[in-house]
Each structure stands twice: as structure tokens, then as C-alpha cells.
Structure 1
């Protein structure tokens, strides 16, 4: 039975982690966003859960937001029907095994939602619209925000600052999986 928290009234839905995936109405396509991919991610598990529920799963973030949107459009054409899209920001694992907010994943999810809207898939939930507007408003500061974030600082301390800067490059990859 639909609930207000499942965002089923909307074509594009947004939430965080496995619990968010379980809370949302199932989507025809699930986009799993993990901008700074590391071993502390549950992106594989989220993808497997979505796939097990019958959703086509795509993974990516800022570097391939446009390509992900194109893949969703292609799936909608293949299905010849309106296609629901669930966008899940992975976040990062905290010390207690839960999920913590990760600004890079919020911005990556917003970039995907923005790319979908630019292609006409714009019936978004308020949650998805807020992520999209966060990306739009903060896009000029992406490199700074990613390097200054908790995850970015952790990566920089581990000698991976250039990886963080590379992850901040919007649409640098043309593959729908980045």
C-alpha cells in the first residue's frame, strides 16, 4: 500500500542508502550514486537489492550524470512506457556501521536528477528536487566542496586528493557506469 514516504506519486524519487531504497516505491530504474567509491560503501549491496526487486540498476555520479540520464531515456524508449527512477545516494559508512551523510553523494544525485530534468524527466519528488537544486546552486564550488568534505579530507590525507578532484568533473565520462 502506498505511503507518503515512498514517493510513489513521482517519476523521480530520491533517498539515502539501503533503508532509503526499502522506503521508496520500487523503480523501473535505480541509479546508485557513490561519488567517492571506496571500500566503505554499500553500493554493491544496494544495487543487488534493487536488481533483485526487478529494477534496472545503473551506478555513477558526477562524472557520468548525463550518460546515466541518457541510459534512463533509452530504457524508457525500450519499455515504451513512463519509467520510474529511484536515485539512491550511498552516503558513507560511519564507525557504528550506519550511513552518514556524504555531501559528494548528495551533489552527485543532484547532478543525475538535473540531467534527467534537462532531458524531460522532471516529475520529481520534493526530496529529488532539493537534491537537484543543491547541485545546481553549488555546481561552481564542486571541486572545493568535494576536497573540503569529510570524505575528501580523508582521501587527501591518504594521498588521494587528485582522485577527489577527478570525481568532481561533471560529465567527464560518456559511459553510463562510472
Structure 2
């Protein structure tokens, strides 16, 4: 990894996917993972309901066993879910907790696999940094929590990592939704004004600032949003657009995300 790719001269950094995370986190204190459609959005909805969330790689066969070992519910793929079943869809998670909680063995524990954000968090679990989940729903709450973490060495060094999507060949497809989500966190951290922000971080903050006034329509019209709308999951996109409606700060403690704000 080239030193220039580490953005090491800056406290606020931004990059994409697992390779980008590996480039940034060597001397960082916190990795903020953003996967707006839909892992980190669904994560915030679950924590709003008082549920601990276990991230997991996208492997449906082993995810069920992993959940059973932890007495947790496992979320199935969005397109595979039957009515009433919990999936990666934030609508399904909100509906489940609106009925008073999950009804199977995992009443307050949820294993949430996804091929991008969740797998990225799972991979970062042993990286020696704090791992936080952020979306548009809780961007300001995460930034406030990070800003309060001033230690002897000063403010934390933060790597904001956009999960992105995947092309059919497995390569990362950068998605506007994650650029905006990352930018929302970085803008709230002061990246538009701070000399501590890398050019990459500043550009993400600028992209969010440009989209903020028309966020829901832009989310529905970007490639990832159109894909979900076309598949009948437009309500998931609308939940993702609920800017700063959640105060939760998902912090990975051990294997599970818990709310660090409480």
C-alpha cells in the first residue's frame, strides 16, 4: 500500500470498501462504516428498537448456524423474505419491532448479514480500531459522539469508509448513496472547514452538501435507489432518507453492535 493512499497527514479520511479501509485504518482510532442501502440504515432501525446487531458476511448457509449459537434471529435476504420475516430491509425490521419484538429465539439479538457493509464491519472487528456504523439517519449523532472523544492525543483520527455495492464480477461499485452518507458524517465533523480533512473527505462532505436539499428524490433516482424501487422496495429507500432522525451510535463491542449513546 502506497503511503499516499493512507491519507496519513489528515485526521479525517475517506475511502471505499475493504481495500480502502485497509489503507486508512493503520494509524486511525475509529472506522466509520457507511452502507446506506441498506445495512447501516437497518442497523440504526434495529438499535432504535433496543436490539443488539451482529454483523456477518454474506453467507446465508453459515449465518443461520452463527445466529443459533448466539440465540439470535438471522435476517434473510430481502428478496427471499416472506411476509412477516425479518430481512436486510429496514421496513421489515421496523415492522417486527413495531409488533413488540421479534417472535423467535432472538428477541433482542439480530444477525444481519450483507455482502457489503456488514461483511466490512465483520472484517474490521479484529483490526484494533473502534468500528461505528453510520447512515443518513444517524450521521449527526455519530459525529457528535466522535467529537466528544477528545483524549490526550487530541481528537480521534477517523476513517470514514463507504461500503459501496458490487458489480456482477465482484468489484466494488461506488454508490452515490454511500458517498452522501459518508459526506453527511464528515460535514458534521467539520470537513468542509477543517484543514484536518483529506481532499477525499472534503469532497464527500461537499457532495452531501450539494444533495441535502433534495435528498429523498436523489436517493430514489440514483442507481442503487432505482434498483430497489424497481424491485418493490421503495419504502426502504424512504427510510434511508430519514436524515438525522435517529440518535443511536452503533459501536461494535465484541461481536455485536450496541448503542454507545445510551
Q: TM-score, normalised by structure 1?
A: 0.89
Gaps of 5+ in 1: none
How many residue pairs get aligned? The number is 175
Q: Are 2:35 and 2:116, in contact at CA under 8 Å, matched by a contact in 1?
A: no
Equivalent residue in structure 1 for 2:153, among 81, 86, 90? 81
The runs of at least 4 consecutive aligned structure 1 residues that moved more than 4 Å come to none
- Structure 2: stretches of 5+ with no match in the other structure: 39-87, 89-112, 251-258
2:230 and 2:114 mapped to 1: Cα distance?
A: 16
Mapping 1:4-23, distance limit 5 Å: 4-23=4-23
Offset of 1:88 from its aligned partner?
0.2
**Kept after mapping to 2: 8 A contact 1:41/1:90:** no
TM-superposition CA deviations, 1:20-62 (whole Å, max 9, x none):
1122242200000000115653222322333312110001211
Shift of 1:73: 2.3
Structure 2-normalised TM-score?
A: 0.62
Give the one of 117, 120, 126 matched to 2:190: 117
Residue in structure 1 matched with residue 168 of structure 2 by the alignment? 95
Which has more radius of gyration? 2
Q: Are residues 30 and 124 of structure 1, via their aligned partners in 2, closer, same or farther at CA, if it must alter by over 3 Å?
A: same
Given the alignment of the two structures, is residue 149 of structure 1 paired with residue 150 of structure 2, yes or no?
no
Cα pair 1:40 1:93 within 8 Å, conserved:
no
2: distance between equivalents of 1:32 and 1:63? 13
